[in-house]
Structure 1
Amino acid sequence: MLTGWTERANAIDQYIDNGGKSSISSKQMLLFMGQPQELPVYKIPISLLSFNVDNGRFAAEKRLKEQEIGFELDNRNPAHESYFIDLLIPKNAKSERLLNDLESYGQLSPGVITQDGFLVDANRRLACMKRLNEKSPRSCYQYLLVHRLPANVPAKEIYKLEVQFQIKTDLKEEYNPINDLLKIKEGLEHMSEQELLETLDWKPKKLKEYQDRLDLVDGFLHSIDQPENYTILLNLNEHFVEIQKEIAALKKLGFNPFENEKVIDIMYRILEVNLDKDFDKTITQRDHIRNLREAFVDDKIFKVLTKNMFKQDNATSEEIFNDVTAAAEMSRMQRNNDRSEELLKKAINLLTQIQDDSDAFAKKDFKVLFEELDELVSTIKEKVKE
């Protein structure tokens, strides 16, 4: 058993020097150190390779797995290997397709490793080879085709290589969008915005969009005292995308930065509902978030939206959910220019559904709401008489 990573680098050197199955004649072009380079492709035993999931593309999933198992994963610990395999190829249709493809056709494109055998690209392929070899040990599953980088490559250059394979290619769909944001954050730690734009081949507008979304994400996590706990947001990326759109629309309507901050605070409070494990309903970006714009420009809808979330320190998720749902419905009606007669018909239909619910009539909350309704009806009656 190897005792250090220098020893493993030496073992890979020795394996390559010995020839045989260690190397193949193929060479491929790789954009490396700022220019296309022809690097040899080696056939390295999987026993000499290790996963690398500390980069942004896997960071959130790795943290989620650690929360699940109760300890920190170490890609240098062989006993943790099975956890990384589960992380990289979970039981789903995409993983099955990749496993079946490798089983049927073998590895068609090489990965990239550091000098001491850590994967820069092909983590999933290595995980598949290990799983296939466990299932049915065969020599074809015991090697991985890779480019091997020189020693002491700067972290910035490693990042650029990861971007080539993980963001600028069609493989992007395999990853969670929250991890895409973390990958951009990682890039800005290594290089300037201009250099990152050149690396990603993006326009400044797209990078600004990602940075603003990351600011929203970080702001939300700080607001709930969970800084950098991105794992809890793996299913909320589209909510943040929708919030960005709503903020941009409100800016066009003349909202100033102070007013936009108020909008963001409300959106954060709304998103907390989806993190409540004891509440079984979900705020969606389609039915809720995208239908709240009118609430910020119409006082009546705004009062409905914020009825409970800030007036009560202990507002429940159900109360906030119901307020958001009601405000979204009012916004849709206003947006669709529903006639007053149609709204009245809807109200009558809804009231008809509860007129025989005798159990509800005795509840305190029902009586409070009914009094509110009675006052509203009285106000409308006066206007009808006038």
Structure 2
Amino acid sequence: MAKKLYSAFVQEGTEILLPILAEYIEKNMKAYYGKEWWQEILGLFYNRQPALPISGTDEELIDSLDFARCIKIMKWRWNEVFGDSFGEQSNKCRNYVHELLDVRNAKAHIGRKDIEQQDAERALDTMYRLCFYIDESKASKIKEVYKVVRNGGNEAFVIDGPSSIDVPTNVEVADIPKEQITSLKDLVGTEAVKKTTLTKKISLGGKEQAYPIYKIRLDYLFYNDQNDRVGTWIARYCAENGEDSLLSLDREEYNKIIENFVYESNPDAIKKTQKNILRYGQREPGVTLADGRVVDGNRRFTCLRRIDRDTTDEQYFETILIDVDVEADKKEIKKLELAIQHGEEKKVDYDLIDYAIGTYKDVELTHLLSIEEYASCAEESITEVQKRIDIARIIVEFMEYLKLPGRYYIAREYQVYSVIDEMLPVLSKISEVEKQQLKTIVFNNVLLQANKDQRKFIRDIKALVNSDSYKDYFADQQIINGLIHEKFDDLEINGKADLDDFVINNAILREKLRNSIDRFLQLSKERKELLKPIENVTKSVSLMADVDESTFDKMNSEEKEELLDGISRLSNVINEYGSKLGTDPNGQAILYKPYKVAISRVDRPIIICKAVTVDIESRRITIKLMALKENEYQADTCNVRLFMLDADNKRISDSLDVDVSTEIETEQSLILTRYKEDETVYLVLQVPEDSDDEAIRIIPVELD
């Protein structure tokens, strides 16, 4: 007889859940929409096939809903109709609904293939959980189907609870000679290691295959001391108790210490997982080496150990067994560990410093894996891995700066990962010397705990760098750095307590660091406000330069008049600003110039205005000019155009083109076409080769 497909079990679960969902939907839709409840559902599936009935009895209407439509109705009307009915479990149940929609879609597209056992388990477990919150009394039927799938689809072996089936055995551990026990596999068939009917697929040595799952008594297992999750905790223990202190412990003492590390690394996650195991059993098997080393599943192993202490029932760890040598196959074990523990759903559980230092050790220090291999196993990009290594390098520098090399657990206490992460983009914008200065600045500020929000502190530095206002701040910090090291360099630092004492005894230095960033941020802000008008004018010029002059010919008279009016208003604003800019350091009026400064040419001599005289009665402006050569490449003469402007930037004279020589002084006169007494007018000097909007000099002339 052919074995029942896992997809068939999932289908069986949906058939149990469907009428429960349909009745639940009817009840809640009626409560919210009243008599229009079915019209609302019809609107959701308007023009979708197969069409729903327009009318009928309530029983006929809800019978027309299939599983997919029930799930979609709940998803689409969750906020309005269904969410509140679940109370505090609303978010959790909404996730179940979304997951079941994915299950339905996946099942609809597998064709004749079957789904994986673990996917079927997950789908049925989700159905059970959703049903439990809708109608607890009916959820048990789905759980029965779940049990069958959990036990490999073998309905003859269904037992109470979500545990796997043990292969029957009568062998006692005591019956096996000790010399024959070289690995846990030698104990298979005893009460210590029980083989189940389940399997788990993993890839080892480039080959994917299904491994049988065993239930192993907890006292035959021990933690993996190479696990990145507890690496910094172990380093701390060894620093405080001796380098080889863990090696002298027996297995249970060792396990107690590491268990405490795992728990302290994330107490909330441990409590949550422990609660789930108590309620549903261990859902995900671990990976264990034949010597008893738990490669994957430290958290589950920890939870089971904690449960074992609180109950009289013997606890077992469900795991596959890999018969490899921990030293000879270290690379393959590491690749397996990465693939399992740093999958997309799990890597967020890791402390970022533990993760970074672990990556750094594997790639940079031990060269156990290349960066490409690491990225592939952890399902990350090479860029992501490289960034983490770059952060780890700076963490290493930080610990050396604190005179505590390798004590990465202290870096975790300082929470420097996010600080360094924020610092990386800034480092890419400054010179090598400045990079070292910035790292020193950050190390000092972290050491002395000068900033409550360290990420904001880095962002403030980033703002200074982006505004090119950081050099004075760096210089100020260098002075403070000297004061810090006058006191820090001679200290003997043995641990975090010594660093804390240094902070307590140097509150003034901490305040200097804090005041420094505050002061330069304020200066930068003031400078930015000062330059705001220039920035706005520059933007305005850029916008005006982008105007397409060819559109002028396409405008009608009204549009042209409107444009000219706008230009006139703009000109008035510009002139008003010009009048408010005051005088230059020499007391001369600062003029808005409709000309930009012409770029000097290497072959052009400098034009000097030696004198300007005014004869008001004749309206004559007399100018004396001469050319000056700065080098032998410059010409002896230069043709210059002269004319006068009034305060409104309008021409008030004819223009003259004259040759100015380096040999003799040139005197020329301009006649003003109009003027006002006591007015300031402007002499403009242009070189004809330059564009019309460029001038080499603009000289104010007082008419008094």
* TM class, shorter-length: 0.7 to 0.9
Larger deviation, residues 49-58 vs 296-305: 296-305
> Does the 8 Å contact 2:290/2:324 carry over to 1?
yes
* Pairing partner for 1:248 from 411, 425, 429: 425
Pair 1:22 & 2:197 matched: no
SS of residue matched to 2:225: coil
Q: Give 3-state SS (helix, strand or coil) of 1:39's partner.
A: strand
Offset, 1:208:
1.7
Unaligned runs of at least 5 residues, structure 1:
275-280, 341-385
Q: Which residue of 2 aligns with 1:145?
A: 318
Q: Is the 8 A contact 1:28 1:39 kept in 2?
A: yes
Counterparts of 1:323 and 1:243, CA distance in 2: 22
Is 1:328 the counterpart of 2:505? The answer is no
Q: Which amino acid aligns with 1:39?
A: Y
1:223 aligns with 2:401: yes
Q: Tell whether the 8 Å contact from 1:66 to 1:73 is kept in structure 2 after alignment.
A: yes
Query: Who is 2:457 aligned against?
Result: 288
Q: Match for residue 309 of structure 1?
A: 481
- Kept after mapping to 2: 8 A contact 1:288/1:324: no
- Displacement of 1:146: 0.5
Residues 111-164 of structure 1 show CA distances to partners (whole Å, capped at 9, x for unaligned) of 01111111001112112111111111213xx21111100232610111011112
Partner of 2:234: 62
CA distance in 2, matches of 1:202, 1:20: 38
Give me the whole-angstrom Cα distance separating, in 2, the residues matched to 1:186 and 1:79.
27
Q: Does 1:80 align with 2:254?
A: yes
Give the distance between the partners of 2:193 and 2:431, measured in 1 at CA: 66
Question: CA RMSD of the aligned region, Å?
Answer: 3.2
Which letter does structure 1 place at the counterpart of 2:292?
Answer: G
Equivalent-residue separation in structure 1 for 2:519 and 2:346 (angstroms):
41
Match of 1:258 among 389, 411, 433: 433
Quick one: distance in 2 between partners of 1:19 and 1:138? Answer: 13
Conserved in 2, the CA contact under 8 Å of 1:9 and 1:117?
Answer: no
Q: What corresponds to 1:36 in structure 2?
A: 208
Pair 288,319 (structure 1): closer, same or farther in 2 beyond 3 Å:
farther
| Partners of 2:335 and 2:377 within 8 A in 1 | yes
- Give 1:183-194 correspondences, 5 Å limit: 183-188=358-363, 189=366, 190-194=368-372
Provide closer, same or farther for how the CA distance between residues 21 and 56 of structure 1 changes in structure 2, counting only shifts above 3 A.
closer
Greater displacement, 58-67 / 93-102? 58-67
Tell me the alpha carbon deviations over residues 75-111 of structure 1, each in whole angstroms, 9 at most, x when there is no partner: 7532333222222223832221111111111100100
Distance 1:125 1:250, change over 3 A: closer
**1:27–1:40: 8 Å Cα contact kept in structure 2?**
yes
> Secondary structure of the residue that 2:290 maps to in structure 1?
coil
Report the Cα distance in structure 2 between the residues aligned to 1:268 and 1:125, rounded to whole angstroms: 37
Alpha-carbon distance between aligned partners in 2 of 1:176 and 1:292, rounded to the nearest angstrom: 26
Q: What code does the residue aligned with 2:395 have?
A: V
Q: Which amino acid aligns with 1:107?
A: Q
- Equivalent-residue separation in structure 1 for 2:233 and 2:509 (angstroms): 29
What is the CA–CA distance in structure 1 between the aligned matches of 2:238 and 2:511, rounded to whole Å?
34
The structure number with the bigger radius of gyration is 2
Gaps of 5+ in 2: 1-172, 489-504, 531-586, 588-704
> TM-score normalized by structure 2?
0.42
Letter in 1 for 2:423: E
**Pair 266,179 (structure 1): closer, same or farther in 2 beyond 3 Å:** same
Kept in 2, the 8 Å contact 1:8–1:117? The answer is: no
Secondary structure of 1:30's counterpart equals strand
Say how many residue pairs are matched: 327
TM-score by length of 1: 0.74
Map 1:39-118 onto structure 2 (within 5 A): 39-66=211-238, 72-74=245-247, 76-90=250-264, 92-118=267-293
- Paired residues for 1:300-379 under 5 Å: 300-311=472-483, 313-314=486-487, 317-333=506-522
CA–CA distance in structure 2, aligned partners of residues 289 and 33 of structure 1: 44
Query: Measured at CA, do residues 95 and 67 of structure 1 come closer, stay the same or move farther in structure 2, by a change above 3 Å?
Result: farther
Question: Quick one: percent identity of the two aligned structures?
Answer: 18
- CA 194–27 in structure 1, closer or farther in 2 if over 3 Å, else same: same
**Cα 1:66/1:231, change in 2 over 3 Å:** same
Structure having the higher helix fraction is: 1
Whether the aligned pair in 1 keeps the contact of 2:192 and 2:217 (CA below 8 Å) is no
SS at match of 1:162: helix
Instruction: Provide the C-alpha distance between the structure 2 equivalents of 1:52 and 1:8, rounded to a whole number of angstroms.
Output: 24
Residues 73 and 290 of structure 1: CA distance in aligned 2, closer, same or farther (over 3 Å): farther
Change (3 A) 1:61 1:339: same
